[in-house]
Amino acid sequence: MDSRYIMDKSRVSGVDYSFRTGRSVRSPPDRHGTVLYTFVLDSAAEGKGENLAAKGIGLSADGRLLHVVEKMSRREQHDAGLVEGLRMATPPHCPGLNGQVPRGLMHLDIRNPGAQAELQGQGSTPTERQPHSSHIPVPRNRKPSGHADKEVMAATVLTSLSTSPMVLQPSSAPTVPEAANRGWKEVLSASYSSSTSGNWSWDASDQSVPSTPSPPLSNDSNKNFLLSSNNDDISDDIHESTHFMFEDPIPRKRKNSMKVMFKCLWKNCEKVLSTSSGIQRHIRTMHLGRNSDSDYSDGEEDFYYSEIEVNMDSLTEGLSSLTPTSPTTTAPPPVFPSLLVDVPHSEHIEVTGPHSHAPSLLSQSAPSTLCHIRTDHAYQGPVNHVRPVSTGEKRQPAISTHTAVTKSHAFVTPATKATPGTRKPRGEAKKCRKVYGMEKKDMWCTACRWKKACQRFTD
């Protein structure tokens, strides 16, 4: 067997595996009936080759991962090395292997590296792992646990289903009940070693932008987590225990790393807050148009947010790997200042997806967009003297955003800059030079021609 599959970028215990493609080669069963999978990773992994090598995975000279672990017997390599290699190199989504996990060796749920990491103990990193010389002694065809366990799990799942607001969105991507359900099924049908699934897979690449009708929706909840909870007061033991009791039918998670967050389900609002009161206030004020000063709640906002679980380990790793200027993570802050003013900063987590700038139906965040629309084509006619407000201007600092209005302030108020002269702040509008270009200099206003302040496109 030699099946190709796509390996999504995944992250396992702090190691970023950027393998894009790979190949699994199935070896003949040994005398134990063990089926071995050797993963051959294509050169897409080159960038991480050294990293992997440092973690103890053998690489060939050209950066391919050809085999795992030296100085071990073939048997040990198979049992430990390959398992280790699979643990470390296998991304969460391996469609080609789903449902085809060979018995014996492959007890690990290869779709869930987090679960595998857990097998190594909490917080273990690949560098900390030592190859084990014996395979995990899980009998084949293991039956699910007894009736008592089933009942407990079923009860827990039912409880979860009945309490979670996500029931309202059957089409949602990994919702809590769904995850719980999956975990439950796995617990009942598979071995213990795969029981901690239902974790979040932090693969933002396969997240599609939702375009479903407004509220509620939560299709891309995952991708928000990575972007959201940097400055957050997350530690909340009440939520933690509640989450454990009602949301998590899975026997043991890494409790320390799982946090409950609250995600706004309003369309195009991907705000994630750490407290229910915060998200309720957000919904009340931003979407329901309620008075932000009043804490009165009629419960309606409960329908528009949901609890989500966040793996803080993955979260922090993801955050640490993001550059502060990453265009996917930082939206231009000054664009919608009105979005930010009502929410206390201690609780506010601005989650700005690719489409989140679109104003929600009831949100008050539209004015600047409308302004831009109005002046989008201001430059297309030479006689159009509507003051251009450029949409494509790179610079949009808070200072210069309102220079058109407050320009006189630059002369009245003390100079904010250290520059000695009283040089006018540069205007936002495109000037004749930019509008007409050097080749049409005769169309410039005289001031521009004389290198003076433009008179046609004044600020």
Partner DNA sequence: TGTGCCGGGCT
Partner DNA sequence: AGCCCGGCACA
Binding site for DNA (CB under 7 A): 394-395, 397, 399-400, 417, 419, 421-424, 426-427, 430-434, 438, 446, 448-454, 459
Comparison of 10 and 400: residue with beta carbon closer to DNA = 400
Comparison of 295 and 393: residue with beta carbon closer to DNA = 393
Beta bridge partners of 37: 26
Least CB distance to DNA at residue 418 (A): 8
Cα(258)–Cα(53) distance, integer angstroms: 30
Least CB distance to DNA at residue 429 (A): 8
Least CB distance to DNA at residue 421 (A): 5
Comparison of 208 and 419: residue with beta carbon closer to DNA = 419
Comparison of 300 and 393: residue with beta carbon closer to DNA = 393
Dihedral of CA 103/126/119/319: which sign? negative
Give the three-state DSSP class for 257: helix
Least CB distance to DNA at residue 228 (A): 28
Report the DSSP pairing between strands 272-273 and 21-26: unpaired
Least CB distance to DNA at residue 459 (A): 6
Give the orientation angle of helix 176-189 with respect to helix 147-163, to 10 degrees.
170
Nearest CA to 267 out of 203, 167, 207, 355 is that of 355
Tell me the CA distances in angstroms from 229 to 123, 148, 266, 364, one per residue in order.
20, 38, 19, 24
Cα(119)–Cα(121) distance, integer angstroms: 5
Comparison of 217 and 429: residue with beta carbon closer to DNA = 429
Residue 407 contacts residue 426 (beta carbons within 8 Å): no
Nearest CA to 85 out of 27, 142, 24 is that of 24
Task: Say which residues have a Cβ less than 8 Å from residue 11's Cβ, sequence separation at least 6.
Answer: 17, 113, 202, 314, 317, 318
Least CB distance to DNA at residue 341 (A): 24
Least CB distance to DNA at residue 242 (A): 48
Least CB distance to DNA at residue 357 (A): 20
Q: What is the DSSP letter of 362?
A: S
Residue 39 contacts residue 23 (beta carbons within 8 Å): yes
Least CB distance to DNA at residue 303 (A): 43
The residue count for the chain: 459
Comparison of 123 and 425: residue with beta carbon closer to DNA = 425
Comparison of 281 and 431: residue with beta carbon closer to DNA = 431
Beta bridge partners of 41: 22
Tell me the CA distances in angstroms from 167 to 239, 240, 303, 305, one per residue in order.
19, 21, 10, 12
Least CB distance to DNA at residue 417 (A): 4
Comparison of 95 and 437: residue with beta carbon closer to DNA = 437
Comparison of 6 and 443: residue with beta carbon closer to DNA = 443
Comparison of 264 and 454: residue with beta carbon closer to DNA = 454
Cα(167)–Cα(173) distance, integer angstroms: 12
